[in-house]
Structure 1
Amino acid sequence: MSVADAFDAVAGSYDGARRRLVPCFDSFYGTAVEVAAPPLRAALAAGRTPEVLDLGAGTGLLSLLLTAAVPGVRLTLVDAAPGMLAVATGHLAARRVPHRTVLADLADPLPAGRYDAVVSALAIHHLDDDGKRALYRRAAEALAPGGVFVNAEQVAGPTPDLDRRYDEVWTARITELGSDATEIAGARERMRHDRPAPVADQCRWLAEAGLVDVDCFFKEWRFAVFGGRRP
């Protein structure tokens, strides 16, 4: 089963499990929105519509949070799972948010345009390290001057021992939050497609792609928010 097939299979129930499977949900997504928002607000202040590119957008969860924080943005959502994009379209259409969806893999060329923010949540870790580095270069090139790239991501521990500890803490936390054996097994089955990398490595790759002010803005065990700005 491909990554797209695995996520299409749970498109209808995906959002309902997010707050259990991402124990730091509010801080994790909230930080991503805070990092992405300034250039979007600056575009509005300059009298133009802010453009956002959401990579591996899934059901549009991060895009929805961005539109709530900065009304008036225009969204381009990219994902390889048509069922997930269909859910996203329903959410955004119901809120009358201007958007387009692009059915594509993250290894494909990005939709043409210049974006004030390129964002992603829990998607890029499905690429291998070379694929991540290549995507970071394409994302940096797609940004308008002053635009930001933000990745709210699942990351690997910097050592095998810490990586195992990340998993122990995650399993304990999601169990406390009500994930049952079936939900955990389903999550682990999807995690077979994961290829996470340490946050320090990924910040270095962003700097190598030409971004500045690169930093990790939030981290709680395996969940991290990091990014940078195009000069």
Structure 2
Amino acid sequence: MENRRENVMTKFDEIASKYDEQRKKLIPCFDDFYSIAVSVAKAANDSPNILDVGAGTGLLSAFILEKYPQANVTLIDISEKMLEVAKVRFEKYQNVTYIVDDYTKHDFTEKFDVVISSLSIHHLTGIEKKGLYERIFSWLKADGVFVNADQVLGSTPYIDELYKTDWKQKVESSGMDRHEIISTYERTKLDKMSTLNEQLDWLKEAGFSDADCVYKYFNFVVLYGRKLAD
């Protein structure tokens, strides 16, 4: 397990500088994918505490800060080089904190109004996802929300192959050079995707109310859950 986590860190260290420019080419539904995630990431005040899990270069946090410029945002990621890119992105902000660590093990002493994640949790095994959802639930304040913009496994082998075929066709015609495409395909070997229904069940088991998939484009989804007040 530790070796696998090291492999993930190494692969994303390698592409840190190019990560953002590749996003629109690798996510056919880029605009909807991110805008819907931001739309449902609602807080009860204008300066919420927000945690970005597997934040990478801070792309999703950048969109969140457009919505909540007074938010206190914490970015956690295992790749220091990805967070270095995020630090440049947010150099004018005084309200952003960076943590280089494995978010499946890190202990937070504060609570958050919103926890977000994008294209990270699918690198975890099913057991790890389930455990992480329980941890995220504990990190949230009452009435806090969790939003996960990620990829899921198809509900059947046929459907999963349908997803992969469509995505590869779009990547091949995206304008990326051959080296970038091959590197992208290599990174998918790190994926440990779970089905949509499995993850909704894990969210509910963790204690989330209103667990739902609020957006879906082939295997790109936005998952939502809410922590009710006691």
- For normalisation by structure 1, the TM-score amounts to 0.93
1:87 equivalent to 2:85? Answer yes
Aligned residues: 223
Distance 1:178 1:97 in 2: 37
SS in structure 2 of the partner of residue 93 of structure 1? coil
Deviation of 1:85 after TM superposition, in Å, equals: 0.5
Q: Are 1:16 and 2:21 counterparts?
A: yes
CA drift of 1:110 comes to: 3.7
SS of 1:117's equivalent in the other structure is strand
Gap change, CA 1:28 and 1:97, over 3 Å in 2: farther
Please state if 1:118 is matched with 2:115.
yes
The correspondence for 1:27, drawn from 32, 52, 58, is: 32
String of CA shifts for 1:197-220, please: whole Å, max 9, x gaps.
Answer: 111110110010001011001000
Deviating above 3 A after TM superposition, structure 1's stretches of 4 or more consecutive aligned residues are: none
Superposition map of 1:144-155 within 5 A: 144-155=141-152
What are structure 1's unaligned runs of at least 5 residues? Answer: none
- Tell me which of 27, 43, 46 is aligned to 2:45: 43
SS of the equivalent of 1:146 reads strand
Give, in whole Å, the separation in 1 of the partners of 2:35 and 2:197.
Answer: 21
TM-score (norm 2): 0.94
* Residue 59 of structure 1 pairs with residue 57 of structure 2: yes
1:64 and 1:199 map into 2 onto residues whose CA distance is 26
- For residues 85 and 220 of structure 2, the distance between their equivalents in structure 1, rounded to whole angstroms, comes to 24
Q: Which runs of 5+ in 2 are unaligned?
A: 1-5
Residue in structure 2 matched with residue 214 of structure 1 by the alignment? 211
Determine the structure 1 residue equivalent to 2:155: 158
Structure 2 residue matching 1:150: 3-state secondary structure: strand
Segment drifting more, 165-174 vs 175-184: 175-184
Query: One-letter code of the match for 2:197?
Result: A
Q: Give me the identity figure in percent.
A: 39
CA distance in 2, matches of 1:66, 1:165: 32
Shift in Å at residue 97 of structure 1? 4.8
Tell me the alpha carbon deviations over residues 111-137 of structure 1, each in whole angstroms, 9 at most, x when there is no partner: 221101001000001110000000000
2: CA distance, partners of 1:110 / 1:213? 26
